[in-house]
């Protein structure tokens, strides 16, 4: 897995899937082009304006992705331009859904105190290091299991299975 670069958008603890994409929006089905327009609509209405397509890293506190286990939550984040998520902890199902759709997620203790909005980061998964290019700070992330890295390298679980001719 290559290094990931982006600018920080910070969130606190307990960001649940209803904050990411409201349940009443799920009537749009799996049309992610339409769904993405409603990412964080009731929590951070300017979120989509802040996201630089493909160049945003979310930094959050504990329990990111709690609530329902809807897979649309990591999907809309990925399709809105989020490149990766660093959090102190994740809801288990959100974490696995993110990996399965090819959105890199990393556990980093005390990351909520790391950096400020719009600081530029580089995540180096192979060394387990995150560098804040704006202020020079560094922190460590928990390494992902090799199996997860392979899934991410193939764009998600479907790509991983196709590569192995299992789909």
- Domain harbouring 54, CATH code: 3.20.19.10
Per the domain annotation, does 26 fall within a domain? Answer: yes
Query: Rounded to an integer, what distance in angstroms lies between the CA atom of residue 142 and that of residue 129?
Result: 9
**Does the structure show a pLDDT above 70 at 167?**
no
Per the domain annotation, does 23 fall within a domain? Answer: yes
For range 107-128, the mean pLDDT: 94
Per the domain annotation, does 153 fall within a domain? Answer: no
Query: Rounded to an integer, what distance in angstroms lies between the CA atom of residue 1 and that of residue 17?
Result: 27
Per the domain annotation, does 152 fall within a domain? Answer: no
Specify whether the CB–CB gap between 105 and 99 falls below 8 A.
yes
**Does the structure show a pLDDT above 80 at 54?**
no
Q: Considering its fold, how many domains does the chain have in total?
A: 1
pLDDT score recorded for residue 117 = 94
Per the domain annotation, does 16 fall within a domain? Answer: yes
The per-residue pLDDT for range 61-115, each reduced to its tens digit, is 999 999 987 889 999 999 999 999 999 999 999 999 999 999 999 999 999 999 9
pLDDT score recorded for residue 112 = 93
Q: What pTM, to 2 d.p., does this model score?
A: 0.94
- 158 pLDDT band (50/70/90 cuts)? very high
Per the domain annotation, does 83 fall within a domain? Answer: yes
Specify whether the CB–CB gap between 77 and 85 falls below 8 A.
yes
Per the domain annotation, does 57 fall within a domain? Answer: yes
Give the residue numbers spanning the domain of 23. 4-142
Per the domain annotation, does 150 fall within a domain? Answer: no
**Does the structure show a pLDDT above 80 at 166?**
no
What is the distance in angstroms between the CA of the first residue and the CA of the last residue of the chain? 23
């Amino acid at each position: 897995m290559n290094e990931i670069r982006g600018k920080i958008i910070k969130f606190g603890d307990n960001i649940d899937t209803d904050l990411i994409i409201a349940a009443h929006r799920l009537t749009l089905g799996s049309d992610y082009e339409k769904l993405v327009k409603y990412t964080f609509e009731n929590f951070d209405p300017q979120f989509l304006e802040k996201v630089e397509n493909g160049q945003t890293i979310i930094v959050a506190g504990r329990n990111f992705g709690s609530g329902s286990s809807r897979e649309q939550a990591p999907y809309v984040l990925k399709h809105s331009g989020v490149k990766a998520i660093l959090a102190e902890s994740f809801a288990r199902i959100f974490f696995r859904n993110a990996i399965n759709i090819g959105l890199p997620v990393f556990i980093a203790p005390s990351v909520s105190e790391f950096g400020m909005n719009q600081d530029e980061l580089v995540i180096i998964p192979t060394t387990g290091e995150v560098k804040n290019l704006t202020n020079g700070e560094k922190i460590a992330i928990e390494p992902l299991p090799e199996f997860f890295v392979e899934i991410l390298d193939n764009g998600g679980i479907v790509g991983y299975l196709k590569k192995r001719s299992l789909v």
